[in-house]
Structure 1
Amino acid sequence: MATRIWPVMKLATKVTIAGGAVYVAYDSGLLGNSKQGAEALEKAKAVMPPAIEEWMKYFGLEAQLPTVPKIEFSPVDTWNSGVRWTISSLSEAPTKVTEYTNQGLQYLKDLTK
């Protein structure tokens, strides 16, 4: 009987952890739009250093933590530049394919001469 319960308990634990992670991500706004994600990131940046210091005091650790690096770019702008590059590449694809095909045919013609 116990051998049948153990796999069920393992599965239930994994499902609970995964469900909890999804719930926390949704509740904090990480699964929303980009503005909600940016707000959640700012909240996390503000909360993490004090929480880590408190945990270190609780466990008796006296280590110096490195400072949090500053991110000097906007993820929204970076995303938009990636989208623009992809769309630009897709729009130029037929022209480039024609150019490369013509170059390949010309190369083959030069080889057969």
Structure 2
Amino acid sequence: MLIAPLLFQCSLKGVGLMKQLQSRPMPIVTPFTQPYWDGALSGKLMIQRCNHCKSYYHPPVSSCAKCVGEEEAALEFEVVSGRGTVYSHTLIREKFRIQMCLFGLCALISMQLIGELV
């Protein structure tokens, strides 16, 4: 189920912008990411958090990297305020569609790499 088009239809005015947004690739909702998208549909920002060490994870992960092997280290989604500081951003203007991927280099290290899928 794709909910992103529903969100845009509710909040945007103007047919030209709507057509432009519909041509963009939409996220695929999986059972793993469903709580995030359900929250977005109801206007809430839901982020995954470890019950043991209280670390936040986004995008969602299957286990906490800091609490590997801990029985209490269950991950659950919780509502967050959405407030924060943007330290940097990148705007890429391409005339062709590229696919980007987020690669986790190691399950025990919180190091991630964003790269282009070719």
Name the TM-score, length of structure 1 as normaliser.
0.19
Q: Which has the higher contact order (CA 8 A, sep 6+)?
A: 2
Larger Rg: 1
Higher helix share: 1
